Structure 1
């Protein structure tokens, strides 16, 4: 038993049992399998062409919401209150489309609802100046999409007052 614990005997025990190339072959096969597994894990959540199209559809839909909110602002001199139901408020600003059967459907139902898996969620701190709308696209990764006004209205109005 003491002979077996001696380091020289231990090394010789394994040297006799294996050929020189066996260890290298096993290490290479282990490394190759590790690389293949990491490639498969990394590729699971990648988007396809369809996912890119779904993200672009969501981006177009959020821009439609932004345009409707800007039209709402022109009419009411403020954005909707925090937590407002955008569908009810913006339906009249979205317009309607005639279907092949002769029925009219809201552009909200046609363009906005199919574009998002979650949302759109609307929030504002000050309805006189700003808002924030966020949603998630219908792609595999549920990509977040958001929009806010291109300008902050209060700051622009304050600059006009200072210049006068």
Structure 2
């Protein structure tokens, strides 16, 4: 993980969103800056350039934006991990815990061929719920995970550590402590 001050200053922090006590890390300000967006994609790709990635899985919704650009740069296909009921074909789904309840994501059953090398990409890793669910889905359909790449890590919430404990390579560009 590299602390990139240039990128960090382009992330907008919004206090008390979506509820009191939460600081939302908004990457839309980073994405709208052409140099910041290019630098972000380049840095997310760098650790995995030699990994022969076949597919990039992006988690809804900001993971679609970043994941699509990463897939393009890696000459890989892109797979959306979507909320329940949003995909039109046969799917597999995985639930994950939220602070108050559960949520679930899905991918198509035929989106990853057995043995394909897959990189998971998202804007932020917090508790690791949605990332862990996406990794479960990748493996369920036969993919081989080469790593996980995030713009922001909130290490105090334990998600990146949880993924590393599961044996995944985890890369992030920016950390925000105490969130």
TM-score, normalised to structure 1, is 0.23
Give the structure with the higher percent strand: 2
Which protein has the larger Cα radius of gyration, Structure 1 or Structure 2?
Answer: 1
TM-score, with structure 2 as normaliser: 0.22
Structure holding more helix per residue: 1
